[in-house]
Copies of this chain bind each other. A is one copy, B any other.
């Protein structure tokens, strides 16, 4: 059967291209990325990119949605558990930092592309359940506040701080490394330690 084999071949080449595209787009962003870069990274002809994905824009959309999902996935998963609030926070922080240690370029890529395309925002985020996103967590916080288990904080401020303390270092990494005079490996060590530092900071801020 030729179908199967060609399909396999298709997927190999397609995956090869996608890997290259992922790497280039994620590192450089849409505007600075060149089809040539991607072709070279994949070790193939530029025309083949168009054969598989028609245009730069279409190819980018695939990578963007994929990256967006990676960016949100663990967050959403943990938010939807029914862990007690403090465990959930610790879980969010640990999982977020661990994820970003694997894909450190993700936040800058996502936030940059979103900020630079204010018109297409709805379209870009259409596959994310944007609204129900934080509602569960806000609800849980409000309940805990009402029950007197935590301090009455503004959930929006709290979520901002949670995301900020975990994500920001990866966005500012080159600057931070330079300013603090640390290396790539030292950065990783700092971020590993940071999981506990941030968990403590955030949880302590909820205690009365």
Chain B residues near A156: list those with CB within 8 A: 180, 182, 190
A154 to B191, CA, bound (A): 12
With A154-B193, A160-B168 in contact, is A29–B130 under 8 Å at CB? no
Question: Which of the residues B118, B168, B173, B193 comes within 8 Å of A163, measured between beta carbons?
Answer: B168
Output the least CB separation between A117 and chain B (Å).
Answer: 9
**How many residues of chain A have a CB within 8 Å of chain B?**
53
- Is B121 within 8 A of A174, CB to CB? yes
CB closest residue in chain B, given A170: B115
CB closest residue in chain B, given A177: B121
- Is B116 within 8 A of A29, CB to CB? yes
| Contacts A/B (CB < 8 Å), 24 sampled | A30-B32, A105-B115, A108-B111, A114-B174, A114-B175, A115-B173, A115-B174, A118-B174, A121-B178, A130-B179, A134-B179, A154-B193, A156-B180, A156-B190, A157-B190, A160-B169, A160-B176, A164-B164, A164-B165, A164-B167, A165-B165, A171-B171, A201-B201, A204-B205
Residues of A that sit less than 8 Å from B by CB: 27-32, 105, 108, 110-112, 114-116, 118, 121, 125, 130-131, 133-134, 153-154, 156-157, 159-161, 163-165, 167-169, 171-176, 178-182, 190, 193-194, 197-198, 201, 204-205
